Amino acid sequence: MRAEDVAAVVVAVVVPVLTATVAVFAVAWQDRQASRSQTGRRQRAFEDATRQVDFAVLWWDARQRLPGNQEELANASRVAQRWLDQAGALVVAAGPGTVDPPRRLSPTRLLLLYPFRYTAAKFIRASFLAALGIMAVTSVGVLSVALSTGTGADFGWSLTWLLLFALIALSLRFWAVSADAVRQP
């Protein structure tokens, strides 16, 4: 086997492996971003609520020091209570107090073999799986061309198609995940 043939076989094998590696890193990055986003929202909600409570306490203290009758003090008490309730609602709306444990990377998650809720996401997932199938068949074709004829125009076109379907598969995967997550509460 010539060096060109070895290089052609190596390239034909590396493209699907590289695509899978990129998918694994991209899923891990998506998980990290989702975790940071959830943590950031909760932290901002706590900071806003803390500022609101601090203001309500200072305002209530100042209001008590001012001269006035019991009715004005009762109205001020209701206002302060409403501000405290709003601060509590901010924290409750931010979500649960603990961050969900990170999900494991598994073939089920990478290949989107878990149940989807929405029809559009299911259709995109089916397209993703079809693109993976075409990519697998194209990989075999690239290996066949590389082993039988070596490098040449046929090999170049086969490799181009393989790269194209790898990019399409990755794009469809991310689109399917985002289409299913868009409508989640």
pLDDT band at residue 126 under the 50/70/90 scheme:
very high
Q: What is the pLDDT of residue 98?
A: 55
CA distance 146 to 159: 10
Is the pTM of the predicted complex or chain greater than 0.85? no
User: Does 80 have pLDDT greater than 90?
Assistant: no
Q: What per-residue confidence (pLDDT) applies to 150?
A: 61
Question: In angstroms, rounded to a whole number, what is the distance separating the alpha carbons of residues 123 and 175?
Answer: 11
Residues 6 or more apart from 159 whose CB is under 8 A from it?
A: 11, 12, 15, 142
**pLDDT, mean of residues 157-161:** 82
Span 11-22, average pLDDT = 76
pLDDT at 125 > cutoff 90: yes
- Residue 183 above 70 pLDDT? no
Q: Which of 123-127, 155-159, 165-169 has the lowest mean pLDDT?
A: 155-159
Q: Is the pLDDT of residue 173 over 60?
A: yes
- Looking at residue 35, its pLDDT comes to 66
Q: Which residue has the tokens 């490098």?
A: 151
DSSP string for 22-85: HHHHHHHHHHHHHHHHHHHHHHHHHHHHHHHHHHHHHHHHHHHHS---HHHHHHHHHHHHHHHH
Mean pLDDT comparison of 10-14, 83-87, 180-184, highest-scoring range = 83-87
- Given a cut of 60, whether residue 139 has pLDDT beyond it is yes
Residue 145: the pLDDT is: 76
- Please determine, for residue 185, whether its predicted confidence score (pLDDT) is greater than 50: no
Which residue type is seen at 97? G
